[in-house]
């Protein structure tokens, strides 16, 4: 049994390199089912923003013709695996990429049917914004409510309510308002900063990339127009002081003093500058930042999500998995905490059972003390439960072998999140968010 260190051995440092930012990057999750026209919407977005290539257009045109479709079936652009085509379903999150002169976009396309909660949680975990698609004819469904709940729970604060198939209700403002009113009434109970309702027709293209001539009563932005201007980055990530999970320790070369050690990681909160007082957690030792470096040389300041190498003023025992935190605003060191988790595995949670827990760059053993309660994914209301099955959400109490330096997920998405791994199968069985 071996664990793969995902950290690199290079001097430049840690983590997945960020794509070069010629324009700002917005990560969004789309939620909705095939029936709501989600595949058609994404196809329309890619098509009308000229993100599709000629060979993709030709392949889909040929495929559309073969399936007896007149013209191009836009939903085929997001067509995935053979099993999905055969069964007419989507079985997994797919990632799509497109860019406009203003901005680069990564879409986490989460299916609405099978494994919906698990897939939605996966897509939402890295998203800045969620697009929730509703069929105007069917109105707000249980699924729409579920998507809004999961987005809110995962810390997404901006939601676009895309009210689709407006062409089928004669582009009626009243029909649009009814859906919007129902959604806003429901969303008032969720922690969302903004809800942007947009009436669209994915099939015809109204208000997706081009403004709709048929809906003069609508004065807001098109979907793409809104995505190009929506704030990037998750406000939650900077609600704490500096956080640097240590991913890699640079040992001094032979002949160099011990103090030549340096620590690399991806900054996960706050701002770090030379001279800042920091505390090494969980040990609690205080020191100051002597220097910040990248491959290109020294830095005067580092902000998330920069990957950076830190030299400390004192020669301390710091290893992978430790957290360098702002001394003025440190994380909480604990061996026992509560969290809201989404259960991901087919085998239900085993209260009293042992798991591996991965939190930032540290993996430790954990015991699931108890399932406190389940959380209804359609309302976020608590309900009694002894365990959690696949796709269930619930609050649980965990105890860990090593002390962890945690923040609440609401305060910091990196130091507030963890996964549970089955010791025998090595499956990722739960995605957890530390409770305040």
- Interaction site with another protein (CB under 8 A): 1-6, 15-17, 19-20, 22, 53-56, 59, 63, 79-83, 85, 91-97, 99, 106, 118, 121-122, 125-126, 344, 356, 358-359, 413-414, 417-419, 421, 426-428, 431
Closest distance between another protein and the C-beta of residue 316, in Å? 26
Tell me how far apart the alpha carbons of residues 347 and 421 are, in angstroms, rounded to a whole number.
Answer: 12
Q: In angstroms, give the least distance from the CB of 78 to another protein.
A: 8
Rank residues 43 and 197 by Cβ distance to another protein and give the closer one: 43
Nearest distance in Å: CB 414, another protein: 7
| 239: Cβ contacts below 8 Å, ≥ 6 apart | 269, 410, 411, 412
- For residue 155, the minimal CB distance to another protein (Å) is 10
Tell me how far, at minimum, the Cβ of 278 lies from another protein, in Å: 22
Tokens of 136: 């105007």
Taking the C-alpha atoms of residue 40 and residue 34, their distance in angstroms, rounded to an integer, is 8
Distance (Å, rounded) from C-alpha 46 to C-alpha 72? 13
In whole angstroms, the minimum distance from the beta carbon of 122 to another protein comes to 5
CA distance 142 to 155: 20
For another protein, the closer CB: 56 or 172: 56
Q: Where are the alpha helices (DSSP H) in 10-158?
A: 38-48, 54-66, 82-87, 116-124, 142-153
Q: How far is the CB of 56 from another protein (least distance, A)?
A: 6
Q: Can you tell me whether residue 54 is helix, strand or coil?
A: helix
DSSP string, 319-343: -TT-EEEETTSPPEEEEEEEEEEEE
Nearer to another protein, 85 or 347 (CB): 85
Rounded Cα distance between 212 and 412, Å, is 39
DSSP 396: E
Q: Which is nearer to another protein, 44 or 234 (CB)?
A: 234
Q: In the bound complex, what is the minimum distance in angstroms from residue 426's beta carbon to another protein?
A: 4
Q: CB-wise, 21 or 381, nearer to another protein?
A: 21
Edge-first strand listing for the sheet containing 194-199? 94-99, 103-110, 24-31, 129-135, 158-164, 194-199
For another protein, give the closer residue by CB, 62 or 328: 62
217: which 2 tokens?
A: 């009563």
| Shortest separation between residue 336's beta carbon and another protein, angstroms | 20
Choice between 222 and 415, CB closer to another protein: 415
Residue among 265, 357, 276, 272 nearest 320 (CA): 265
CA angle, 179 then 181 then 182, to 5° = 65
- Of 79 and 370, the one with the shorter C-beta distance to another protein is 79
- Cβ 31 vs Cβ 108: under 8 Å: no
Say if CB 102 and CB 23 are below 8 A apart: yes
Nearer to another protein, 199 or 432 (CB): 432
Under the phi-then-psi rule, with left for phi > 0, alpha for psi from -120 to 50, and beta for the rest, what region is 68?
left
């Amino acid at each position: 049994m071996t664990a793969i260190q995902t950290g690199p051995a290079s001097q430049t440092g840690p983590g997945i390199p960020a794509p070069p930012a010629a324009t700002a990057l917005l990560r969004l999750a789309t939620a909705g089912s095939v029936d709501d026209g989600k595949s058609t919407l994404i196809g329309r977005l890619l098509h009308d923003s000229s993100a599709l290539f000629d060979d993709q257009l030709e392949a889909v045109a040929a495929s559309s013709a073969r399936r007896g479709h007149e013209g191009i079936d836009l939903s085929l652009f997001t067509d995935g695996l053979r099993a999905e085509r055969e069964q007419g379903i989507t079985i997994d999150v797919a990632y799509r990429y497109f860019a406009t002169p203003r901005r680069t976009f990564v879409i986490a396309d989460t299916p609405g049917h099978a494994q919906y909660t698990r897939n939605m949680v996966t897509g939402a975990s890295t998203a800045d914004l969620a697009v929730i698609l509703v069929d105007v004819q069917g109105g707000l469904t249980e699924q729409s409510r579920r998507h809004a709940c999961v987005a809110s729970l995962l810390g997404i604060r901006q939601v676009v309510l895309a009210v689709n198939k407006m062409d089928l209700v004669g582009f009626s403002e009243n029909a649009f308002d009814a859906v919007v009113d129902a959604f806003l009434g429901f969303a008032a109970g969720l922690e969302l900063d903004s809800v942007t309702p947009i009436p669209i027709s994915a099939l015809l293209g109204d208000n997706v990339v081009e403004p709709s001539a048929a809906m003069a009563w609508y004065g807001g932005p098109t979907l793409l127009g809104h995505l190009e201007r929506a704030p990037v980055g998750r406000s939650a990530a900077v609600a704490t002081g500096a956080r640097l999970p240590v991913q890699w320790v640079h040992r001094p070369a032979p002949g160099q003093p011990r103090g030549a050690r340096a620590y690399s990681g991806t900054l996960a909160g706050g701002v770090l500058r030379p001279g800042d007082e920091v505390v090494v957690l969980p040990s609690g030792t205080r020191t100051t930042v002597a220097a910040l470096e990248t491959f290109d040389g020294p830095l005067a300041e580092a902000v998330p999500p920069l990957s950076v190498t830190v030299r400390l003023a004192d020669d301390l025992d710091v290893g992978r998995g430790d957290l360098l935190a702002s001394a003025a605003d440190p994380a909480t060191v604990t061996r026992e905490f509560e969290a809201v988790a989404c259960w991901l595995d087919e085998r239900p949670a085993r209260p009293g059972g042992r798991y591996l827990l991965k939190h930032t760059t540290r993996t430790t053993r954990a015991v699931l003390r108890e399932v406190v309660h389940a959380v209804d994914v359609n309302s976020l209301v608590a309900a009694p439960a002894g365990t959690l099955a696949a796709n269930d959400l619930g609050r649980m109490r965990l105890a860990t072998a090593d002390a962890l330096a945690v923040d609440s997920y609401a305060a910091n998405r990196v130091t507030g999140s963890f996964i549970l791994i089955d010791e025998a199968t090595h499956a990722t069985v739960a995605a957890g968010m530390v409770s305040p």
